[in-house]
């Protein structure tokens, strides 16, 4: 897995910016800390090498005389060791074997000639190049030392060394201090950066809030009042450009919604006015055709047939006009009658009427033991039931079983009409409740199914006016319309 894949995934821009700021500062602090540690370690090691050069070979030469400088008196020994740092190490090697060794202890600056060295320590000292340059050697009992090996006068190797412990202690202290300081700096920068980023992105938050309020509006239909525009910000900043673009888009959307609402209002008024004006001439045509059919004199069969068709079509046109007028009134938001409606009685009456109109179908009922009462308009709810049953009768072949079920759920009455007919074509299911949607008689397979495609749209409009819901599920061999009405 790559390093990028292991990084945390932040969802918000604020979190990503804060995380990036902290990471950038952490990398900078780490670089500064590493550079400071390396530079300090090199500086202190160089100073130690300079001290080691001052020690020279005098101390290791004195070890051959049991800690006394050659050709010096005993009184000069302490003066010689006082000029050397505590922890100075000296050794004399002959053919890779340590013959003499000593260490200047703290306190009285005395020379300890009994320094314990392991075989590994001796081997490491023997591998130090005899070139007069400082080298680092790890001694198991003494720690890390910088040592210089120089050739003696009688074929031996004289070695002097100084402990790296002060250098390592200073470097470790610097690492600790730098870690604490940089850690506090990262925490402070993280908190301060988060507050700064939050403050800087406040205009973007207001833009987001405006866009969220717009997304929650019901823009599908009706008059829509858009919320106030996003506050203006610096047009030279990215947030200001986003706010300006959103405000411009909202302006175009508001203009489009206003024009659409005005067009819908004109269409509703036209439908309502046309329906209202057509009711009288349609009723007149129907009345005159029925009156002509009652004429006692002889009438040619062709004329009788024409008059019968005129009466039938005028009757169908009258129903269509009534449906259009009802939809126009529902679209206009006119309140329906509100009263207790015995839904069980409506179902019984509607199924009885459907059984009489469709004797070739099998009609079954599944009703609860107790009556179900809902608040609403009894006449319109009866129209919902009649349209659903007429839809099942008209679009399924004879022999189809239609089952009407009524039950109660918490807070709602659920009415379902199920049939085992051929089902609704897939391309019509999403538009089945839209106006003038017709199935082209494909559910039944003949041309006997007639209608303007307004029945189910009236069902949806009436149910919505009752604050209910209607939905459909259909597959070949099973179609179910479900209506939920609040109790």
- Tally of CA atoms within 13 A in the half-sphere of 273 that contains its CB: 6
- Label residue 23 by pLDDT band (50, 70, 90): confident
Would you say 419 and 393 are in contact if contact means Cβ atoms under 8 Å apart? Answer: no
Asked if the model's pLDDT at residue 172 lies above 70, the reply is yes
User: Binning pLDDT at 50, 70 and 90, where does residue 445 land?
Assistant: very low
Average pLDDT for residues 412-425, to the nearest whole number?
86
Q: Out of 260-269, 297-306, 397-406, which region has the weakest mean confidence (pLDDT)?
A: 260-269
| pLDDT of 361 higher than 80 | yes
Helix, strand or coil, per DSSP, at residue 468: coil
Answer with the residue of higher pLDDT: 169 or 236: 169
Exposure letters 61-92 (e unless 16+ CB within 10 A, then b)? bbbbeebbbeeeeeeebeebbeebbebbbbbb
How far is 163 from 87, CA to CA, in rounded Å?
6
Q: Which pTM was predicted?
A: 0.47
Start-to-end C-alpha separation, the chain: 58
What is residue 79's predicted lDDT score, i.e. its pLDDT?
43
Q: State which of 103-107, 112-116, 184-188 shows the largest mean pLDDT.
A: 184-188
| Over residues 23-33, mean pLDDT | 88
Distances from the Cα of 284 to the Cαs of 290, 325, 347, 428, in angstroms?
Answer: 10, 18, 34, 37
Mean pLDDT of the chain: 77
Q: In sequence order, what are the residues at sequence separation of 6 or more whose Cβ sits closer than 8 angstroms to the Cβ of residue 423? A: 443, 474, 475, 476, 477, 478, 479
Residue 107: pLDDT band with limits 50, 70, 90: low
Q: How far apart are CA 12 and CA 208, in angstroms?
A: 12
* CA 265 – CA 275 distance, rounded (Å): 15
pLDDT of residue 263: 66
Residues 6+ apart with CB under 8 A from 55: 84, 88, 160, 162
Run of H or E residues at 318: helix 301-331
Range with top average pLDDT, 5-14, 198-207, 233-242, 356-365? 356-365
Least confident of 4-13, 20-29, 104-113, 180-189: 4-13
> Is the model's pLDDT at 318 over the cut of 60?
yes
pLDDT tier at 277, thresholds 50, 70, 90: low
Lowest mean pLDDT among 43-47, 122-126, 418-422, 424-428: 424-428
Q: How many helices (H) and strands (E) does the chain have?
A: 13, 13
Confirm or reject CATH 3.30.70.100 for domain 339-486, answering yes or no.
no
Q: pLDDT higher for 249 or 473?
A: 473
| Mean pLDDT computed over 338-342 | 84
> How far are the Cα atoms of 239, 345, 411 from residue 144, in angstroms, in the given order?
59, 102, 84
Q: What is the mean pLDDT of residues 389-409?
A: 87
CB 388 within 8 A of CB 363: no
Residue 285 above 80 pLDDT?
no
Question: Directed axis angle between helix 455-465 and helix 301-331, to 10°?
Answer: 30
Residue 57: count other Cβ atoms within 10 Å of its Cβ.
Answer: 19
**Backbone angles phi and psi of 416, in degrees to 5:** -130, 140
Percent of all residues in the chain with a pLDDT value above 90, rounded to a whole number: 1
Q: Is 47 helix (H, G, I), strand (E, B) or coil?
A: helix
pLDDT tens-digit map of 250-265: 777 777 777 766 666 6
Lowest mean per-residue pLDDT among 64-78, 125-139, 154-168, 265-279: 64-78
Helix (H, G, I), strand (E, B) or coil at 483: strand
Asked whether 91 and 125 are in contact (CB, 8 A), the reply is: yes
**Mean pLDDT of the 181-185 span:** 89
Q: What count of other Cβ atoms lies within 10 Å of the Cβ of residue 103?
A: 21
Q: Is the pLDDT of residue 100 over 60?
A: yes
Q: Tokens 């006692």 — which residue?
A: 296
Residue 167 reports pLDDT greater than 50 = yes
The residues, any chain, with a CB within 8 Å of residue 369's CB and separated by 6 or more, are none
* Token pair of 119 as six digits: 């075989």
**Residue 4: per-residue pLDDT:** 45
Q: Looking at 67-71, 185-189, 197-201, which range is the least confident one?
A: 67-71
Average pLDDT over residues 386-398: 87
Mean local confidence (pLDDT), 174-182: 90
Is the CATH number 3.30.450 carried by domain 56-163?
Answer: yes
Q: Which two tokens stand for residue 32?
A: 């500064």
Query: Average pLDDT, stretch 29-39?
Result: 90
Query: Would the pLDDT of 25 be above 70?
Result: yes
Region 353-378: mean pLDDT is: 86
CB 120 within 8 A of CB 129: no
More confident residue, 347 or 222: 347
Mean pLDDT confidence for 238-245: 73
Residue 137 and residue 319: Cα distance in Å, rounded?
A: 109
């Amino acid at each position: 897995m790559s390093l990028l894949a292991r990084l945390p995934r932040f969802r918000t821009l604020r979190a990503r910016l804060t995380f990036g700021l902290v990471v950038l500062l952490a990398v900078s602090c780490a670089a500064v800390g590493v550079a400071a540690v390396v530079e300090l370690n090199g500086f202190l090691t160089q100073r130690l090498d300079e001290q080691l050069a001052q020690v020279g070979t005098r101390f290791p030469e004195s070890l051959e005389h049991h800690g006394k400088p050659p050709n010096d008196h005993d009184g000069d020994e302490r003066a010689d060791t006082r000029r050397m740092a505590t922890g100075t190490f000296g050794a004399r090697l002959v053919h890779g074997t340590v013959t003499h060794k000593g260490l200047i202890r703290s306190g009285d600056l005395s020379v300890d000639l009994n320094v314990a060295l392991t075989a590994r320590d001796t081997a490491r000292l023997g591998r130090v190049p005899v070139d007069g340059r400082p080298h680092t050697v790890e001694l198991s009992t003494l720690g890390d030392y910088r040592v210089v090996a120089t050739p003696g006068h009688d074929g031996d190797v004289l070695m002097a060394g100084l402990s790296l412990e002060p250098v390592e202690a200073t470097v470790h202290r610097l690492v600790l201090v730098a870690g604490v300081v940089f850690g506090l700096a990262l925490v402070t920068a993280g908190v301060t950066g988060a507050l700064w980023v939050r403050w800087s992105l406040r205009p973007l938050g207001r833009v987001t809030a405006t866009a969220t309020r717009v997304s929650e509006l019901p823009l599908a239909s009706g008059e829509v009042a858009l919320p106030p525009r996003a506050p203006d910000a610096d047009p030279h900043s990215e947030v200001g450009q986003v706010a300006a673009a959103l405000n411009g888009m909202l302006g175009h959307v508001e203009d489009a919604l206003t024009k659409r609402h005005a067009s819908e209002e004109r269409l509703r008024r036209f439908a309502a006015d046309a329906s209202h004006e057509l009711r009288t001439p349609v009723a007149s045509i129907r009345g005159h055709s029925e009156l002509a059919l009652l004429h006692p004199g002889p009438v040619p069969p062709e004329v009788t047939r024409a008059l019968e068709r005129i009466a039938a079509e005028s009757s169908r046109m009258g129903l269509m006009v009534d449906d259009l007028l009802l939809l126009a009134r529902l679209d206009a938001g006119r309140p329906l009658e509100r009263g207790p409606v015995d839904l069980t009685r409506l179902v019984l009456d509607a199924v009885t009427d459907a059984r009489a109109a469709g004797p070739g179908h099998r009609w079954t009922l599944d009703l609860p033991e107790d009556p179900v009462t809902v608040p609403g308009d009894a006449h319109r709810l009866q129209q919902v039931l009649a349209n659903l049953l007429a839809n099942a009768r008209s679009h399924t072949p004879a022999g189809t079983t239609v089952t009407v079920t009524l039950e109660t759920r918490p807070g709602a009455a659920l009415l379902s009409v199920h049939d085992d007919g051929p089902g609704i074509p897939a391309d019509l299911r999403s538009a089945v409740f839209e106006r003038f949607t017709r199935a082209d008689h494909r559910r039944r397979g003949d041309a006997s199914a007639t209608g303007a495609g307004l029945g189910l749209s009236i069902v949806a409009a009436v149910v919505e006016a009752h604050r209910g819901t209607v939905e459909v599920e259909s597959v070949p061999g099973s179609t179910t319309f479900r209506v939920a009405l609040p109790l």
